[in-house]
Structure 1
Amino acid sequence: MGKGDDAIRKKKNKAIRKRMQNDPSSVSARVAAIIAAKQRRKSGKRRMCEGMCFSLPTPEDPFNDRNGKKNVSTKKAKTVHSSKQDERAVSEENSRGRNSGKLEKKVPNKEKVKNPKNEQNKSVSSICIEGQPQPGPSKPVKVNSKLIGQGTEIHAKNRGLYGTSDCPSKFLILCLNAIQNALLHDGTFNSNKDRPLLINTWGFEFWKCSSLGLDILETTGACSTTEQIAWMASNAADTIARKEKEGLSVVNPFLLFIVPSQEKATKVRSVCKPLKSLGIHTVSVHPGASLERQIHGLRSCEPEFLISTPERLLELISLKAIDISGVSLLVVDGLEDFVEGRFLDKIKSIRQSISGDSQTVLFGNCLGHTSSSVVQDLLVGQISRLSFSESITSQSACVVQYIHISASEDGKLSEGIQILDQACSTLVHSLLQKVLFIVDTESTAQMLLTTVKAKGYPILDDSISDGSQVANSKRNILISVTDKEHLWGTEIGEFEVVIVIDFLSSMDDYVKVLTRMARHTVNGVLHSFFSREDAPLAKPLIEILERCGQTVPNALRNFCTVHS
């Protein structure tokens, strides 16, 4: 008997349903949702009920009291064990915190420990308040986790403007990208030829030097470039954002950029202008615009960045149109132009109008005695040198060279002691100064050390083991003596004064001493004794002195004439 149409259709539909049930991906979304819900029900409590109804007694449960259910107490035991571990961890961390003077944190009760997730949330919230991310829920929070407290001010010498992180912040990178995009739009920046601002080597070195909070002497070129301006502006903007985030008030203007001409002011403003969208306003004042208009602009806007020429800025200060006493960062661009224009007195007046201990960045080649004296007035204390030029004049900027002509060996030693006495008498007693003697042999070094100790000068090597020697001495100075053989094992960069008793064997050694000494000061002095035996080196020595703008003694020229 043949099957009817209804039976054939039922059989076909049954096959289709079976195929669709085995392959959920081939069904519609609604049917797949129904299948998934059924699977979830089977894996949950409903499945445990089914096991209870159809279970059999087992050796572990002979009377089937659990009705076939799994032993769920194991899970609870693990939770309690984990809580005990957290409690012990908190106790151990608190004990270590009390021993190291850190903030103590009470051990939570068992009722609180039952939910480790709550404890973790509490720890994370307390960490976010302090601003220092610390992994784990049980570590105590440090008391001094904040860089600067709310409503406080930065100490004069601990003035690291840009923080102490290991890499630039996201906001600083955002500022650099904004400037770069604007320069690309104006055609000033070429993406095919120019390197991105973010990977600029000078900028990263400047950021690291600025993080130390020291004044910076830049001797690579006579004035700043576009990339250098971009990094300085971005650093300053990042500092303003950081201070405001910490609850500190920022006095306007924050950055004062002194330029020699109107053209330079326009260039600097064009670089800083893209930061306006990020909340940083820049105002440029120069003789090219009327004084009344600039006064009105300054009163209507409180700029974070101020770019000005010296003469116009002093006019505005005299009219009380602007107050620069709270400037935190002073940039003097193109020192040689100010020397030629005879604006040095105005630069000094502007610096004196700034109260407090602002950070100063100085651009210039620093050639000649006049430039060096201005640098010494503007940069006081320890500095950071920033130079990417390998030239002798750039590396030896602000190091004064003196050549002493001596006839006898004993005369050189006595004159060297006199130079030391003179340096000590003119020393500012609040600053520690280090002096290095360079002699020919080790025996001469021992004899000189004995003489210096007899005069009451503290020795650098002795002061390392006995710090009270310098503290008890009325002379705030440290002496070190080395012979030529062990010269290059000495860290020359930390010595402000170097006295070469026996002239060096070659001009290469002289150049090394000149370009490596006094790396953290603008008051470096190099004294060298020159005798008749050193006459073959007179001509190259004269060339170096003239190249660095130093005074050449007539006796040294006579040596050169006789030898030639």
Structure 2
Amino acid sequence: MSAQEVNTWRSKSEVTTVGTAVPNPILKFEQAPFHANTITLLKQNFSSPSVIQSQSWPLALSGRDMVASAATGSGKTLGFLLPAFEHIKNNTPANSGYRRGGPLALILAPTRELAQQIQAECNKFSSSYGIRNACLFGGQGNRYEQTAQLSRDPQILIATPGRLSDFLASRKTSLSNISYLVLDEADRMLEMGFEEHIREIVNQISTDRQTLMWSATWPKSVESLAKDYFKDYIRVNIGSMELSANPNIKQNVLYCSTNEKLKMLQDHLLSHPNSKTLVFCQTKRNCEEVGLQIGQLTRGTIPMATLHGDKTQQQRNNILEDFRANILKVVFATDVAARGLDVSDIETVINYDFPSNIETYVHRIGRTARAGKKGQAISYFTDQDASQAKDLAEVLKKAGQPVPEAIANLMTQKNRSGSNNSRSQNNNRSGSSNPYGGKPLFNANNSTNYSNYGNNRNSSNYGNNRNSSNSNYRGRDNRTSHNIFDDFPDLKSDFNPFR
């Protein structure tokens, strides 16, 4: 490609690069030096490389350090995985086989879900290279299996920072051979408090390495990490260099009071019962409370579940699997699902609780409108969220979306007379009473039932046993809609949460 052709492509594709000697993009799979079987597999799944793949592949293959920003669902995982395969092939002596002592490539990810999704892609595309991998993430009951994976001498290690630190401390693995390092969703890892773990891990890796970092945003913490651990890196950005939302997402911001939100959500879900919807709540407790109440209000007519950090790994896997398979239509989630959630056809994201910062807002709504599809985001915005009004308005404007009059007013009038005290009382979740009025939702008897949602699908516990003949859920080959009241028989009686 000529310099003019490259510039035209980058301008049309909204690709911005910062750095020297940036290689030309790869626009066709045949132009990439990957294994022939890998090229065939790519063609079977995609028509052409995605924009981020086109620019990241030649950069990663050149051995340069890189910091890249691209939307979720843009193909970024293969953007660093396929070059990793080539790196391992080219750095393993042909006649000596893989030398023991630890993996050659390390991929750090913020959550177990994202780590598992990376491993799934790795398994799908690595067979032609004969490359083994191990995936390390937190949770009870999985340490033995992960130790077994490490005993098979993997060349690629995929891990969350905390669990990898544990294995390093117990000397179950070593990073002495690592020469290809990937920090996936680095901004999210830093938001989750993993900076100390990341620095401890990176300090154990030789400086003679290639480092790739993927980050949706560019806060000072990410910039500091890049300055400390990258050398002569190239920054690649797809779209605006500033924080922005996907323009394919229709953003609806509804100004309301706290005690109006439940009824608004009920009305929306009942009017769109077949729409795949992800509902975000700020806390695990509220996630459970809202999910339970909506289940009661909709009389179990919409299959739904809750997803947060207190779920076991098996529960989380089952819920995500059934959400992908359209068995579940609604999932209530905390921000554990906001990044790395690999469900491609979510139609609507609802911010039941508006997040505490605008970066999280953009990450949340980015779960819809993936891979060029359209989607919508609905956000319930209260007076308590007034501090986010200005940033929200900027995101709306950049995406070509109208700014509601109420949000514009809150930008200059953050405190509405007489509202703060009442809202503070409405939002108080520290007591045992139902914050929406009526019966207490949580006690020693019923909170256990609902927290088990995800383990056993035999009518009382939704989750592990997928073949029970005594349940509405009758296994993978004989499914019917799940009635949430079968999980909570003590709640089948009439219940009015507003009473």
User: TM-score category by the smaller chain?
Assistant: 0.3 to 0.5
* Structure number having the greater helix percentage: 1
Task: Considering Cα pairs closer than 8 Å and 6+ residues apart, tell me whether 1 or 2 has the greater RCO.
Answer: 2
TM-score normalized with structure 1 length: 0.35
TM-score normalized with structure 2 length: 0.39
Larger radius of gyration: 1
